[in-house]
Chain A
Amino acid sequence: MSRGVMLMSGGIDSPVALHFMLRQGHEMTCVHMDNRPFTDDSPLAKVVDHLELLRVRYNQKIPLVLLPHGPTQIKLMRETDRHVGCVLCRRFMWRSAERLAVREGATFLATGESLGQVASQTLSNMRTATASVSLPIVRPLIGFDKSEIETVAKSIGTYGISTRPGLCCQAVPSKPATRSNLVQIAAEEERIDVDQMLDDVLRHATVL
């Protein structure tokens, strides 16, 4: 089976997606985008606990890499249009994961996204966000509805961890765009030095 990089948020969906990837026998490295100070310590603690549980279940090491995302968010908030902030944020997450994947010799990226749950998961925004990377993206939950995902999460024991109290992302704009296009996004990214920002992210990677 192949080797991939899985984005882990601490929420309900990503550990379920990871469970399906591991069940198929893929070798996964997990990455958590550390969104502090726009959140608190709870998302990271949840990811750590999710992985502890799935490591035991699948008898695998499952490395976890922590990448700083707070400084990126601050830069985006200062320099770019807030309306498309979630799409720009997602593009940075994808790019960071892709850079890590290349470094780790992984051949695909994976995520717990399913269609239409939040602004970042409309088809339009997913397309714009993922146009920033070239590795294939696997979405094991894409056609699941929330209740189906929750049922699996409960059956594998990750639901209780995911639903512990925690702080939602404070960088989400009050009215995030549900549609976006690449021309608009490219213009926003002209205002910032994307490569330099990604270099900084990867330079501060921490393996937990």
Chain B
Amino acid sequence: MSYYTLALCASKGAFEAIPLPKLSLDLADAKRRLETAGIGVTDARVMLIAAMEREVTLSRDGRVLIKSLDADEAARVFDKLRRVIGLPDVSSAPAAPG
């Protein structure tokens, strides 16, 4: 079962949600869903850049980067993104093996 952690990225410039294991997202479908929800999207083929409350980068492997340094705001934005495109919820524990 996939899950995300939401934490400051290595350079401490944004919050990052990382799926484990990696996902294989249909970015075209994600783009459609975001646009249907009224969210502007820049399509860079291997990633989408979504103009949400804070700018969000969504990679094909499910990695999400939220350009905010506020943990609560990042969690809010991620939760909205998750619901719009159907990503797994945040979890603090790794999935059981096998």
Q: Does B46 contact A (CB under 8 A)?
A: yes
Q: Does A184 contact B (CB under 8 A)?
A: no
Count, chain B residues at interface, CB 8 A: 19
Q: Chain A 144-171 against B: per-residue CB contact (8 Å), 1 yes, 0 no?
A: 0000000000000000000001111011
A78 near B44: Cβ-Cβ < 8 Å: yes
Taking Cβ atoms with an 8 Å cutoff, the residues of A that contact B are 37-40, 42, 73-74, 77-78, 82, 165-168, 170-171, 173-174
A167 near B44: Cβ-Cβ < 8 Å: no
Residue of A nearest to B55 (CB): A37
Contacts A/B (CB < 8 Å), 27 sampled: A37-B42, A37-B55, A37-B57, A38-B57, A39-B13, A40-B13, A40-B55, A40-B67, A74-B42, A77-B45, A77-B46, A78-B44, A165-B12, A165-B69, A166-B11, A166-B12, A166-B13, A167-B9, A167-B13, A167-B65, A168-B10, A168-B11, A170-B47, A170-B57, A170-B65, A173-B46, A174-B61
Q: Does B75 contact A (CB under 8 A)?
A: no
Report B6-29 residues with CB < 8 Å from chain A CB.
9-14
- Per the bound structure, the CA–CA distance linking A38 and B67 in Å amounts to 10
For the complex, would chain A's binding face be called helix, strand, loop or mixed by DSSP majority?
A: loop
Shortest distance between the CB of B30 and any CB in chain A (Å): 16
Residue of A nearest to B10 (CB): A168
- Per the bound structure, the CA–CA distance linking A166 and B11 in Å amounts to 6
Q: If the complex has contacts A40-B14, A170-B57, are A73 and B9 also in contact, measured as CB distance less than 8 A?
A: no
- Per the bound structure, the CA–CA distance linking A131 and B98 in Å amounts to 50
B44 near A73: Cβ-Cβ < 8 Å: yes
Q: Which residues of B contact A74 (CB under 8 A)?
A: 42, 44
A165 near B42: Cβ-Cβ < 8 Å: no
Q: Does B52 contact A (CB under 8 A)?
A: no
Shortest distance between the CB of B65 and any CB in chain A (Å): 6
- Per the bound structure, the CA–CA distance linking A59 and B13 in Å amounts to 32
Q: Which residues of A contact B65 (CB under 8 A)?
A: 167, 170
- Per the bound structure, the CA–CA distance linking A173 and B63 in Å amounts to 13
- Per the bound structure, the CA–CA distance linking A77 and B27 in Å amounts to 14
Shortest distance between the CB of B27 and any CB in chain A (Å): 12
Q: Which residues of B contact A173 (CB under 8 A)?
A: 46
Q: Does B49 contact A (CB under 8 A)?
A: yes
Contact of A168 among B13, B42, B69 (CB under 8 A): B13
Q: Which residues of B contact A78 (CB under 8 A)?
A: 43-45
B9 near A82: Cβ-Cβ < 8 Å: no
Q: Which residues of A contact B57 (CB under 8 A)?
A: 37-38, 170
Most buried by A among B10, B11, B12: B11
- Per the bound structure, the CA–CA distance linking A39 and B57 in Å amounts to 10
Q: Which residues of A contact B9 (CB under 8 A)?
A: 167-168
Q: If the complex has contacts A77-B44, A167-B67, are A37 and B11 also in contact, measured as CB distance less than 8 A?
A: no
A167 near B47: Cβ-Cβ < 8 Å: no
